[in-house]
C-alpha cells in the first residue's frame, strides 16, 4: 500500500520546468542560488561562499553585501536536499523514546529540539512501539536520512540494535557501563536515596517497593539504590510488587501489597513512577487508608499528575528538558569528533503531602 501511493506520487513528480523569462524566475518557482547570483551579478559559487560564511578574504565586502541583499529580496532559502546530498549530512537527529504518552519524554523532546534548532538541526521523534525492539521502524522509513540518534531510556536489546546501525549515538537515562556511546544520565540512584532517607527521617521502618515492570537501566537502578539505601538503617523492605507503567496497574500492585497484615504491612510505598504512585494512592483510599496519615507514598518524575492529586505527591523531580538538551549537545559533540564524558544531571526530591510520619505502633 505504501509502495502504491508512493508510485502514484512520483508519476506527478516531473521536475518543475523553469519558465524564467528575461525578467528572472517565474513567480512560482522557489529561487535558487543561481537566481540570487543572476540578481546580484555574480557567479553562483560566490553566492554559496557568501551565504555559507566562507567568503572572508575570498570575496570583497561589497560583493558580499550585494549578494546578501539579493538573497533577501528574493526570499532565498537554500535547498536542504541539495546541501545534504553534497555534504553527506542531513542535520537531522532521531530521538527514540519508549513511548510518547508520558510527559517525561515530551519534555526530553522539547529540550533536545531547542538545542537542535540553535544549531540548525531538526529532530525527528520516534516513539518505539515496543520498548524492547525498535527494529522495524526508523531505519526503514523515509526519515532514515539521519546524522545521529539519541535514545532515551531504552531496553538494553533495543540499544544494541541502535548501536549496530553504525550511526553516531547518544544514550539518555541508560546504562553507561561498557557503552560505546556518549551518555547523559540522571542521578536516579541519588533520587532514590533521597526518597528513602526522607521516609526514614519521618520514622518509617517498613517500606514496600512498587517497581516498574520494565526492563531498562533506569528502573534497575532504582531497585538497587533502594536496597543499598536501606542497609544498616533499621529500615526494611517488606515487599516488592512490580507493576506495568499505568495507574491501573499501580493500583492493582498496591492493593496486593496493602492486603498484608502485621509486620508485613508497610507504612510507606516507594513507587518507581508517578503513575504508579497515583495508583497506589487510589488503592489506599479504596482500602480505607488515608494518605499520608495511614500510608505514605512517593513517586518519580514529577509529572503534572503529581500536583493534580490530593494530597499532592512527594516525588523525585527529573529534569527531563535538561536531559534532552544535554543529549542533543552531546550528539553535536560526537558529530564534531569531540569526545564527551558521561554527564550525570542532579535530581531533586520534592516533599509534598503524600508523605508524613507513620501511624502509631499498631
> Which spans of this chain sit near DNA (rule: CB under 7 A)?
10-11, 13-16, 18, 29-30, 32-34, 41-49, 51-52, 54, 57-63, 76, 78-79, 82-83, 85-88
- Judged by beta carbon distances under 5 to 8 A according to partner kind, the member of its own copies, DNA, none in contact with residue 33 is DNA
Q: In the complex with its own copies, which residue's Cβ is closer, 9 or 178?
A: 9
In eight-state DSSP terms, residue 231 is T
Minimum distance from residue 338 beta carbon to DNA (Å): 19
**Is 10 a binder of its own copies (CB under 8 A)?**
yes
Q: In the complex with DNA, which residue's Cβ is closer, 51 or 238?
A: 51
Q: In the complex with its own copies, which residue's Cβ is closer, 167 or 202?
A: 167
Minimum distance from residue 28 beta carbon to DNA (Å): 11
How many Å from the N-terminal Cα to the C-terminal Cα in the chain?
66
Minimum distance from residue 125 beta carbon to DNA (Å): 25
Tell me the window of 48-56, 149-157, 192-200, 233-241 that interacts with its own copies (CB under 8 A): 48-56
Minimum distance from residue 290 beta carbon to its own copies (Å): 12
Upstream peptide bond of 311 is cis (omega within 30 degrees of 0):
yes
**Is 25 a binder of its own copies (CB under 8 A)?**
no
**Is 107 a binder of its own copies (CB under 8 A)?**
yes
CA distance 232 to 133: 39
- SS3 of 113-142: the string is HHHHHHCCCEEEEEECCCCCCCCCCHHHCH
Compute the half-sphere exposure of residue 244: CA atoms within 13 Å on the CB side of its CA.
Answer: 5
**Is 289 a binder of its own copies (CB under 8 A)?**
no
Minimum distance from residue 59 beta carbon to DNA (Å): 4
CA distance 52 to 211: 52
Q: In the complex with DNA, which residue's Cβ is closer, 89 or 252?
A: 89
Q: Identify the CA nearest to 324 among candidates 60, 118, 51.
A: 118
**Is 88 a binder of its own copies (CB under 8 A)?**
yes
Q: Is 328 helix (H, G, I), strand (E, B) or coil?
A: helix
DSSP symbols for 147-196: SEEEEES--HHHHHHHHHT-S-EEEESS--TT-SSEEEEE-HHHHHHHHH
Q: In the complex with its own copies, which residue's Cβ is closer, 204 or 282?
A: 282
Which of 42, 70, 74, 109 is close enough to bind its own copies by CB under 8 A?
Answer: 109
Pairing of the two strands 268-271 and 236-240: unpaired
Residues 317-336 that bind its own copies (CB under 8 A): 332, 335-336
Residues 147-206 that bind its own copies (CB under 8 A): none
Tell me the window of 169-177, 222-230, 256-264, 271-279 that interacts with its own copies (CB under 8 A): 271-279
Minimum distance from residue 177 beta carbon to its own copies (Å): 28
Which of 248, 264, 287, 362 is close enough to bind its own copies by CB under 8 A?
Answer: 248
**Is 352 a binder of its own copies (CB under 8 A)?**
no
Q: Identify the CA nearest to 270 among candidates 301, 240, 291.
A: 240
Beta bridge partners of 183: 171
Q: In the complex with its own copies, which residue's Cβ is closer, 203 or 307?
A: 307
Sheet of 348-350, strands arranged across: 236-240, 206-210, 268-271, 296-301, 314-317, 348-350
**Is 207 a binder of its own copies (CB under 8 A)?**
no
Query: How many residues make contact with its own copies (CB under 8 A)?
Result: 75
C-alpha cell at 251: 493500583
Q: In the complex with its own copies, which residue's Cβ is closer, 143 or 206?
A: 143
Cα distances (Å, whole numbers) of residue 17 to 14, 21, 36, 132: 8, 12, 18, 48
**Is 27 a binder of its own copies (CB under 8 A)?**
no
Amino acid at each position: 500500500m505504501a509502495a502504491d501511493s508512493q508510485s502514484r506520487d512520483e508519476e506527478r513528480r516531473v521536475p518543475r520546468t523553469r519558465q524564467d523569462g528575461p525578467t528572472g524566475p517565474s513567480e512560482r518557482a522557489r529561487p535558487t542560488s543561481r537566481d540570487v547570483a543572476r540578481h546580484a551579478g555574480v557567479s553562483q559559487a560566490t553566492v554559496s561562499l557568501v551565504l555559507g560564511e566562507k567568503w572572508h578574504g575570498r570575496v570583497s565586502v561589497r560583493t558580499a553585501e550585494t549578494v546578501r541583499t539579493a538573497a533577501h529580496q528574493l526570499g532565498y532559502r537554500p535547498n536542504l536536499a541539495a546541501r545534504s546530498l553534497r555534504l553527506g549530512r542531513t542535520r537531522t537527529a532521531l530521538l527514540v523514546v519508549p513511548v510518547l504518552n508520558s510527559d517525561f519524554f515530551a519534555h526530553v523532546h522539547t529540550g533536545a529540539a531547542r538545542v537542535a534548532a540553535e544549531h540548525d538541526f531538526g529532530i525527528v521523534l520516534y516513539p518505539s512501539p515496543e520498548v524492547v525492539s525498535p527494529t522495524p521502524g526508523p531505519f526503514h522509513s523515509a526519515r532514515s536520512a539521519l546524522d545521529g540518534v539519541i535514545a532515551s531510556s531504552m531496553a538494553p536489546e533495543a540499544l544494541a540494535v541502535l548501536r549496530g546501525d553504525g550511526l553516531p549515538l547518544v544514550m539518555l537515562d541508560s546504562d553507561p557501563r561498557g557503552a560505546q556511546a556518549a551518555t547523559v544520565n540522571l542521578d536516579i540512584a541519588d533520587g532514590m536515596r533521597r526518597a528513602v532517607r526522607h521516609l526514614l527521617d519521618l520514622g518509617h521502618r517498613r517500606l514496600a517497593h512498587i517497581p516498574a515492570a520494565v526492563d531498562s537501566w533506569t528502573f534497575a537502578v532504582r531497585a538497587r539504590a533502594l536496597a543499598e539505601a536501606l542497609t544498616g538503617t533499621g529500615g526494611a523492605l517488606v515487599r516488592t510488587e512490580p507493576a506495568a507503567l499505568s495507574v491501573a496497574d499501580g493500583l492493582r500492585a498496591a492493593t496486593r501489597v496493602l492486603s498484608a497484615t502485621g509486620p508485613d504491612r508497610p507504612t510507606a510505598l516507594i513507587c518507581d513512577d508517578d503513575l504508579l504512585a497515583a495508583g497506589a494512592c487510589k488503592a489506599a483510599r479504596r482500602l480505607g487508608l488515608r494518605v499520608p496519615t495511614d500510608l505514605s507514598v512517593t513517586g518519580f518524575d514529577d509529572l503534572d499528575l503529581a500536583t493534580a492529586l490530593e494530597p499532592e505527591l512527594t516525588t523525585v523531580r527529573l529534569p527531563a528538558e535538561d536531559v534532552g538538551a544535554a543529549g542533543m549537545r552531546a550528539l553535536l559533540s560526537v558529530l564534531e569528533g569531540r569526545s564527551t564524558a558521561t554527564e550525570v544531571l542532579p535530581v531533586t526530591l520534592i516533599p509534598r503531602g503524600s508523605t508524613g510520619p507513620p501511624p502509631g505502633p499498631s
